[in-house]
Amino acid sequence: MQQEKLEQRFFLLSLGLVTLLFAYLLQSFFGVIFWSCVIGILFYPLFAKLESAFGGRANLAALTTLLLCCVMVIVPALVILASFFAEGARLYEKLESGELDPGQYIEQFKLSFPIMQDFFARFGIDLDNLKSNVAQGAISASQMLAENAVQLGQGTMTLLLHLGVLLYISFFILRDGPQLIAILVSALPLGDEREHLLFRKFYEVTRATIKGNLVVAVMQGAMGGLIFWLLGLQSPLLWAVVMTLLSLVPVVGAALIWAPVALYLLVSGNWIDGLILIAFGAGVIGLVDNILRPVLVGRDTALPDYLVLLSTLGGFAVFGMNGFVVGPLIAALFLTFWDIFIREFNPRFDPGEIDAKKELQQWQEQDREPESDKSKTATGDPLK
């Protein structure tokens, strides 16, 4: 018996070490594997329909699905990415040559609103230092884009390698997805019911986050780039991509770009353009975020708005660009684990029976009780 326990413990230890070693081996492909799973989740309904249409030929259905994925998603994304870096390189050339001077905008703001200089000074903000920092930051950002544009051209083979691995893994996830899930359910020692619940939550949150956040971000970025182009502003494609990326963050989003630009247009005397941009940004771009995001993201993930915001920001801080999906996913799994714990270890607890107003009223009544009554309530009447 002791020999069997020793062998079992040693086996479990070896299993854990080998698993950690394998995870360490694949850490550089974490993003590729993760997005392969995302492609599998998003395009599996299409794969299932094609498989049925092709008479059960799973290989052909998976290849066709990936081809459609490339045409609809990957190729347009690569074209936009290349154009984005090329636009950044052109912007860097204009900044280096002096054709474009960000410090001029701060100076014009000072001249138009001299009283604001004293207002900012109360908060320790020196507009002269801000002007130099903005100019230096614009040059550094555009230089980074220009360098990445060169690296993008030089790293074509690496990019194609990762893209090939992405599509290769996606093919097997599409074709063998149900079998892989069945294997994981059999291997994990969490209980089949819990495991199915967790996998279902993983599927729902990933699908809702990608579908909701990307749809909202692309729409906001496209409309922001369109209004910039119609108003004749610099580098509309560049700012469209930047607004798309910022729109992945709830609440703030694209307003971090169009709001300062609108303020500059007002300061520089372009009142009509500034008011148009404000009206379009608040009434159209902001409306997309306020209406579509709760419907597409919050409803399907069953996450409160504040938790979506915090988990998205935390995901960006820890996982980079992958964080806008990984963050809400971790938050949803966190809530799911605790929901399972509450239902199994405290079955009498029902959140639906909690009356928050009644609880608050009882607390207020207790606060209004005299100290003598509170002591009697807590310890009983000492005369009895």
- C-alpha 338/C-alpha 342 separation (Å) is 6
- C-alpha 33/C-alpha 24 separation (Å) is 13
Q: What is the pLDDT along the chain (384 residues), one digit of tens a residue?
A: 677 888 888 888 998 899 899 989 988 888 888 889 888 888 998 999 999 999 889 999 999 999 998 888 878 777 777 776 677 666 666 666 666 655 565 566 556 555 555 555 555 555 555 555 555 555 555 555 555 555 555 556 777 788 889 999 999 999 998 888 888 888 888 877 888 888 888 888 888 778 777 778 888 888 888 998 888 887 788 788 888 877 777 666 788 888 888 877 877 778 888 889 889 888 888 777 777 766 666 565 667 777 877 888 888 888 877 787 888 888 888 888 888 888 887 766 665 555 555 655 666 666 565 555 555 544 444 444
- Compute CA distances 60 → 49, 53, 57, 255, 381, whole Å: 12, 11, 6, 45, 82
Give the residue carrying structure tokens 């249409």: 53
pLDDT in tens, 269-315: 788 888 898 898 888 887 777 777 666 665 656 677 778 778 888 88
339's torsion region: left (phi>0), alpha (psi -120 to 50) or beta?
alpha
Q: What is the dihedral of CA 295, 297, 301, 307, to 10 degrees?
A: -110
69 alpha carbon, distance to own chain's centre: 21
